[in-house]
Structure 1
């Protein structure tokens, strides 16, 4: 760290790195980027420096931000942790429960901080929901419904391979699985159904996941990867004994339909106000914690449980049966 400003190592130069790099630079940090492909273009567009190798990046970084494909997270994060680096990892923390647990335990043993980038906890509509529930405005929660949709991510093949990405449940719906637990508490049972169609030029995948919370509340989480013109959209409706709180991103944009050409839409990420980017707020929170500030609103344990929820849903898809989970009342790793 030089003159009080950290040097941050950003690993990866894909789509999500274009959301991370501006936020890291806005923190006031020196940012060094390493990626086998795309680092020069990423830096040319946003700023920063390019490292020739991962070892070069780890040698100069005060902490690292891993924004690489899901199936690479474990090895890269483990390598950074072994070097004593605090780490931000894009969601999911890892592809498998065992790998996620290994990262959490390795970080704890090494005495470094590890945070999963569950950025939806920083979107204002979900912050309002959490605040309303915590204040008791909705009463005792009963039924929660969350949905998230966008275009099928065909630009990079690994997204469509469930063994690598976890498919729509692990890659997209993990955000709402995490939010449901954040809002309604621990989950004791998970069941799921899904459908995928690959006929024609544009694949489509959809899934529904049902969560039973320890409190007795039920969460229904729906996700869709659709045709290229499908814009990113989110909704929720949360009902308790005292009322309901609902959100629809399309309604708030006065939006009714999208029949534009595929080239006219990008349905992978939501539209962001650069002035109050949730990605910036999240990264600032993590950087503050690394500098000795308060713990952020998402922990390594939260990342571990989110992976467990997503994998339980995938197991339910394979078996056709619900999956029972242990409760995590004390935040312990089970």
Structure 2
């Protein structure tokens, strides 16, 4: 493929790790944003476009790193312009919007990549590989924990327009739960303190229980805590032959507790120089160049949004929400 022309829409905090990945991969970048575009351009050697339509006319791929409520509109505009799309999570605020984006991309013959970056963290990728290799047998239960400082921008706390701790933070582990154990058929969720008048409180904790089509049960907890507290994440996947566990609070190694017949080799820690954001963008570029699927598909983006949407419906109703069963 000749030099790829990439357009970055947005110049917030997440834009820098995306811009760094594109630069490392040799793409020629253009950025547009309501604020901060000049700083990103100067830092990463990009040009500046005055607006989105101008940017779309100049690029092959658009990378959407804007507030969640804007993702769907920007993705649809790019698809209409015949431009391939990388979009930060969540793909949209609702599953119906997300599905519309997928169908529009299919109809237009352009590639769509929801940027679910945790699939590219080595620890989680190794867990997936070991599950697929049958090392812990049939997955029975999963536990996910994710805790980080509450974001500063007000839009994160507007639940109806795409904010909230589930859509922003927990959606990473929602995607992992589905990746490891397959589609879910039931979602039950609680949040404390509750959202009031569409404003999400902070600090706040949400817990979600997924029942998967294959019978596995996933327990997910996500917490926005006070600024300054360290980020923490952990995962534990148990099957009938063993257990896989990782916790960022301990170290960066993956441990496998299994029956004697299973492999027990040590998994090395992730190199700080090998960014998962680089890995995900590189995977998309490979998929684009070779005409193959990336590790994350449009359908994966829709599925994660559908779980988040059902979780909020469960919180509102106080009852589990049934989902349409799909083939594994």
TM-score (norm 1): 0.88
State the alpha-carbon separation in 2 of the partners of residues 231 and 37 from structure 1: 28
- The 8 Å contact of residues 155 and 163 in structure 2, kept in 1 or not, is answered as no
3-state SS of 2:249 partner = helix
Superposition CA RMSD, Å: 1.7
Give 5+ residue unaligned stretches, structure 2: 196-200, 254-269
Q: How far apart are 1:55 and its partner, in Å?
A: 1.6
Q: Aligned pair count?
A: 307
Deviant stretches of 4+, over 6 Å: none
| 1:48 aligned partner | 46
Moved more, 8-17 or 40-49: 40-49
Displacement of 1:203 in angstroms is: 2.4
State the match for 1:136 in structure 2. 134
Match of 1:304 in 2: 302
CA distance in 1: counterparts of 2:31 and 2:271, whole angstroms: 24
Separation of aligned partners in 2, 1:166 and 1:105: 24
TM-superposed deviation, 1:197: 7.6
* 283-292 or 307-316, which deviates more: 283-292
Q: Which residue of 1 aligns with 2:275?
A: 277
After TM superposition, the structure 1 = structure 2 runs for residues 44-123 of structure 1, keeping only pairs within 5 Å, are: 44-123=42-121
Secondary structure in structure 1 of the residue aligned to 2:77: helix
1:295 Cα deviation after fit: 1.3
Q: Give the drift of 1:328.
A: 2.2
Q: What's the counterpart of residue 292 of structure 2?
A: 294
The equivalent position to 2:173 in structure 1, one of 173, 176, 179, is 176
Q: Give deviations 1:108-155, integer Å, cap 9, x for gaps.
A: 11111111000000000100110110000011111100011100112x
Paired position in structure 2 for 1:238: 237
Q: Is the 8 A contact 2:92 2:162 kept in 1?
A: no
Query: Could you tell me the TM-score, scaled by structure 2's length?
Result: 0.90
Q: Distance in 1 between matches of 2:115 and 2:288?
A: 14
Stretch deviating more after TM superposition (279-288 or 41-50): 41-50
Q: Unaligned stretches of 5+ in structure 1?
A: 255-271
Assess if the C-alpha contact under 8 Å between 1:169 and 1:207 holds in 2. Answer: yes
